[in-house]
């Protein structure tokens, strides 16, 4: 077997997390949060957790795995209360250990608790770590995430002034992308960074409120969409109602890659349907890069709307040429050498009777390292395709993301330093076309000035620190979490009540 065929297929770009929160007396907030996280599962598959408070204590239950693997009826029935915070995680700061699963819990010296979930990635983590060390709020229990730092700093400051005032004071000094959902025993809070890099929306239940990373999370629990949480907004929800304050200097820079890949197609961002955006991208792609072909097929599922749009724009028939195994998610079982050599076939398999003898346009959402497309083109040719024309529903990814997407390093990006024909030859396609950045922005119906496209153009709206002070393992490199012993066997239950810190959590095998 030659090198191309044996090459392991790259992981797709991953967003860091999904967050969900509920304040709803009289409702089963744990189950509402469970279903909300189910709707947000695509945003993180490493770990999941839910915290619930009944007004007296906060209980946190979290573990490694998918939402459906972490929770069952018995667990959810044990989580009783009126305030909940939920989180599903894919790590971009800190490793994928149980200690780094969220919600994070800290207790304050005023005998109250704080549970926090975070979506995004901070760029002044080193500075926050130094501040936390000075005041004695460094992560306990082996956690090495920027989320735990935020929780520790909030809990420390809340001792004297309360969580709402502490958040209003701390958040203006936090730099990077963050959507936060956090709660004490009685109140649900939500905050979005002044650039609004990651999405966060507010919804209304008949007897309460919901906060979610995406509108799809509102839909699944029957909450009506109210509005987006604004960039630089801090919300507090309790028995007195909803309060809103502003911090920082809002300068919206929503992530354009949410439209390309990260968000669910049935989600709405800034008033624009993600599905409609992706179909429009496909139409523009057909105008910018036409092809003489017999059939347009998507790389499912994220390439499907753009492929529909390409077929509409080009007049070439649309068809399904690849079948996706929807049960291949994140796994802790390493594939054997034989399975690794099969590469992409674990996830996608061709419909040979559809492909054979055809000139294909294959539409995908993005190319990162190029391994997936290289294996895919080879597989299609082996299945009888006469020609393979690859069309990509985003511009070339030339720069890493430091705001919450786990891209490769710049040296690993196939588009870094390579021209279009060089990339085409690298993946073995007959032709290759990317939608232009102008076309992508136009499809989003957002002004370019309100979008972050740093992974495409290298223009980072939030200034970055020196290279050694940023990256997924910055806190491990600083020695965070070393003060406590590591746990070889991850446990599932963290029972957190006033007076208990994360390192004192009750554990159940």
**Cα radius of gyration (the chain):** 23
Active site residue 17: yes
Task: Report the Cα 270 to chain-centroid distance in Å.
Answer: 17
Token code pair at residue 129: 């770590």
Q: Are 21 and 190 in contact (CB under 8 A)?
A: yes
Q: Are strands 17-23 and 208-212 parallel, antiparallel or unpaired?
A: antiparallel
DSSP-assigned letters across all residues of 14-72: -B-EEEEEEE-TTS-HHHHHHHHHHHTGGG--SEEEEEEE-SS-EEEEEEES-HHHH--
Residues that constitute the known binding site: 255, 302, 364-365, 401, 452, 455
Token code pair at residue 96: 């994928």
Residues that constitute the known binding site for Mg(2+): 302, 364-365
Residues that constitute the known binding site for [4Fe-4S] cluster: 255, 401, 452, 455
Buried b (16+ CB within 10 A) or exposed e, 399-415: bbbbbbbbbbeeeebbb
Q: Are strands 113-122 and 104-107 parallel, antiparallel or unpaired?
A: antiparallel
Residue ranges of the alpha helices (H) in 90-137?
125-135
What distance in Å separates the CA atoms of residue 319 and residue 298, rounded to the nearest whole number?
8
Q: Give the end-to-end CA distance of the chain in Å, rounded to a whole number.
A: 44
Question: Is residue 476 within a helix (H) or strand (E), and if so which, with residue range?
Answer: helix 474-477
- Would you please indicate which residues are annotated as catalytic (active-site) residues? 17
């Amino acid at each position: 077997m030659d090198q191309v065929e044996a090459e392991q297929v790259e992981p797709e770009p991953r967003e860091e997390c999904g967050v969900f929160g509920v304040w709803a007396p009289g409702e089963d907030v744990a189950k509402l949060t469970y279903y909300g996280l189910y709707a947000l599962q695509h945003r993180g598959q490493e770990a999941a957790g839910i915290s619930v408070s009944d007004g007296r204590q906060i209980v946190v239950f979290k573990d490694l795995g998918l939402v459906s693997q972490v929770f069952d009826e018995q667990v959810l029935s044990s989580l009783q209360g009126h305030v909940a915070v939920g989180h599903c995680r894919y790590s971009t700061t800190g490793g994928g250990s149980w200690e780094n699963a969220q919600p994070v819990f800290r207790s304050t010296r005023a005998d109250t608790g704080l549970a926090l979930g975070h979506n995004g990635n901070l760029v002044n983590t080193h500075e926050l770590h130094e501040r936390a060390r000075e005041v004695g709020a460094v992560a306990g229990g082996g956690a090495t995430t920027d989320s735990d730092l935020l929780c520790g700093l909030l809990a420390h400051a809340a001792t004297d002034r309360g969580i709402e005032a502490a958040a209003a004071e701390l958040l203006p000094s936090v730099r990077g992308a963050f959507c936060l959902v956090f709660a004490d025993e009685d109140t649900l809070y939500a905050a979005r960074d002044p650039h609004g890099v990651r999405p966060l929306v507010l919804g209304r239940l008949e007897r309460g409120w919901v906060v979610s990373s995406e509108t799809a999370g509102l839909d699944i629990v029957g909450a009506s969409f109210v509005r987006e949480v604004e960039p630089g907004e801090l919300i507090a929800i309790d028995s007195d109602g909803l309060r809103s304050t502003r911090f920082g200097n809002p300068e919206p820079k929503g992530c354009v890659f949410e439209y390309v890949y990260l968000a669910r197609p049935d989600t709405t961002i800034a008033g624009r349907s993600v599905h409609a955006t992706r179909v429009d991208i496909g139409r523009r792609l057909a105008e910018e890069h036409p092809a003489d072909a017999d059939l347009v097929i998507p790389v499912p599922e994220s390439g499907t709307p753009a492929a529909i749009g390409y077929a509409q724009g080009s007049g070439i028939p649309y068809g399904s040429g690849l079948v996706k195994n929807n049960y291949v998610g994140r796994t802790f079982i390493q594939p054997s050498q034989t399975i690794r050599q099969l590469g992409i076939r674990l996830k996608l398999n061709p419909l040979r009777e559809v492909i054979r003898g055809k000139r294909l346009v294959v539409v995908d959402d993005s190319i990162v390292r190029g391994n997936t497309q290289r294996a895919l083109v080879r597989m299609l040719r082996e299945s009888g395709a006469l020609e393979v024309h690859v069309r990509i529903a985003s511009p070339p990814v030339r720069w890493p993301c430091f705001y919450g997407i786990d891209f490769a390093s710049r040296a690993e990006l196939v588009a870094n330093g390579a021209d279009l024909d060089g990339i085409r030859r690298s993946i073995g396609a007959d032709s290759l076309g990317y939608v232009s950045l102008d076309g992508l922005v136009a499809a989003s119906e957002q002004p370019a000035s309100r979008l972050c496209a740093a992974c495409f153009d290298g223009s980072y709206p939030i200034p970055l620190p020196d290279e050694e002070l940023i990256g997924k393992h910055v806190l491990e490199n600083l020695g965070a979490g070393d003060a406590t012993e590591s746990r070889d066997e991850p446990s599932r239950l963290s029972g957190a009540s006033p007076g208990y810190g994360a390192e004192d959590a009750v554990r159940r095998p």
